[in-house]
Chains A and B, each alone.
Chain A
Amino acid sequence: MKTVDTRGLSCPEPVLLVRKAIMEGEYPFVVLVDDATPYENIRRYATNNGHKFEVVEEDGEYKFTFTE
C-alpha cells in the first residue's frame, strides 16, 4: 500500500502531499502525520472534499488510511 510520509514537514506541505495522492487516485493509501496542526488540516481538507478515511492515533502520531 502506498504511504505518504508527512512527518516533520511544515504546513501546508502535508495537506498538499495528501491532495496530490488523492489526485493520483491510487486507493487505498496511508498518510503518516506527527503533529496536531497537519492532522487537523488533512482531516478538514478530506472531510470538506468528501473523501473517506479512517484515522488512528498512537503516541502522538496519526495514521490515516484513505479508501476513496
Chain B
Amino acid sequence: MKKKNLIAVIVTGVLVGFAGVFLMIKGNPGNMGFCIACFLRDIAGALKLHTAPVVQYARPEVIGIIFGSFLISLITREFRARGGSSPLTRFFLGFMVMIGALVFLGCPLRMVLRMAAGDLNAWIALIGFVIGVFIGTLFLRNGFSLGRTYAKNPLEGAIVPVLQIPLFIMLLVASPLLAFSEKGPGSMHANIWLALILSLAVGVIGQRSRICMAGGFRDVFMIKEFHLFWGNIAILVVALVYNLINSSFKLSIAGQPIAHDEWLWNILGMLIVGLGSVLLGGCPMRQLILAGTGNTDSGIAVLGLVAGAAFAHNFGLASGGVSIVDGVRTGGTTANGRIAAIVCIVVMLIIGFAYSKKAAKSK
C-alpha cells in the first residue's frame, strides 16, 4: 500500500506540473497554468462579486478539480456528506488565505510553478510558506483542533460539486450573466474543454492520492513523513523540465509575469497561506478536492476563499504585477494590502491559540 500511495502522489505531481505549464502554453496567463487562488478570484469576478475588469473568468480548472473529485468519490464510495467543524472560523481562514495569496500573487501551487519558471520572488516566498506551515505545526502540537465533523444529509455535501454544472454551462454558452475579461490575465485562457479534461484528471487522481501542498511540508515537520512532500517535488521538477524545454524558464527577480519583487510582502503573504492552510487541514487545492468528496467544511472554506478574493479586489488589498512603461513603475503591493496582511497574521495567531486552549481543556 505504501508504494501504491507514493506512486499516486508522484503521478499527481507529474500531472499537475505538466498541466501547469501546458495550460500556460495553451493560453492561460504567465506561470499561471494552474493557480487555485487566482482562478477562484477570477470566478469571483465572473460572478461580479468584484468588478476588477482584468480578472473575471469562470475558470474551468476549478470546476474540473471539484467535479473530478466528486465523480471519483462517488465511484469509490468515499463520498460522504460531513461538516460542522467550526464552519465560520473555516470561512474566515479561507478568506484570509486568499488575502495572503493575493498579496503574494499566487497559491502554493502557483508558487511552485513560478519557482519552476525561474521566478526568484517565488523562491523567496517559499521561506514564508515554510515558516507559516511550521507555525501551524506548533499549534497542532499544542492540541489545535477546529473540532469534529458529523454526518450530514447527502444533499448538503453535494451542493458545492453540483453547483459546478450550471457554472460550467454558463461558461460554455458565454452567458451574459457572467463577466468575461476583455484584457489582462482574465482574458487569457486555454480552450475550455482542454482545461476541463485536464483538471478533471487532476481532481480524480488528486482525490485518490490526497496530494496537498501544505500537507507535504507539515508531515515532514510533524512526523518526518515525506510521502506528500514528493508530490510537491514532482510538480517542481516536471514543470522545471517542461519550462526549460519550452524556453519559458527565466531566472530573475525582475520582469516575471504577474509578480512583484517586494520580498517582505512575498514572504508574509505566503506565511499567511501556509499557516492558514495548516489550520484548515489542507491547501486551497486540497480544499477543492475535499469539497468534491462531500466535506461541507471545505466547501465553506472555498466560499471563504471566493469571498476573500472579492473583498481583496473591492477594497484594494490585492497586489498587481509590476510593469515598467516609459520608466514609470506600476503594480506591487498596496498600503491596504500590507495592513490587511498584518491583520490576517494577528487574527490567525489568535485563532491558533484560541482553538489550542479549547482542545487542551476538553481533553
Contacts and interface: CB of A to CB of B under 8 A. Distances in A.
Given A40-B5, A44-B2, A47-B2, A12 B222 contact: yes
Contacts of B219: 12
A1 to B, nearest CB: 19
A48 B225 contact: yes
A11 B282 contact: yes
A68 B23 CA distance: 50
B227 A44 contact: yes
Nearest to B219: A12
A62 B133 CA distance: 29
Contacts of A43: 1
B80 A60 contact: yes
Contacts of A26: none
B91 to A, nearest CB: 15
Nearest to A5: B148
Interface residues of B, number: 27
B81 to A, nearest CB: 12
Contacts of B223: 12, 15-16, 19, 45
A40 B150 contact: no
A35 B148 CA distance: 12
Nearest to B212: A11
Nearest to B6: A44
A40 B1 CA distance: 9
A7 B2 contact: no
A19 B282 CA distance: 20
Interface residues of A, number: 20
Contacts of B52: none
B85 interface: yes
A38 to B, nearest CB: 10
B48 interface: no
B210 A37 contact: yes
A8 B2 contact: no
B5 A8 contact: no
Interface in A21-59: 35-37, 40, 43-45, 47-48
B117 to A, nearest CB: 30
B82 interface: yes
A7 B148 contact: yes
B210 A44 contact: no
A60 B80 CA distance: 10
B281 A10 contact: yes
B68 interface: no
Given A35-B80, A44-B2, A8 B150 contact: yes
Contact of A44 (B148, B222, B225, B280): B225
Contacts of A12: 140, 215, 218-219, 222-223, 281
Contact of B149 (A8, A37, A44, A60): A8
Given A10-B281, A11-B215, A60-B77, 4 more contacts: A10-B149, A19-B223, A40-B1, A40-B210
Task: List 5 A-B pairs, minimum CB-CB distance, nearest first.
Answer: A8-B148, A10-B281, A8-B149, A37-B210, A36-B78
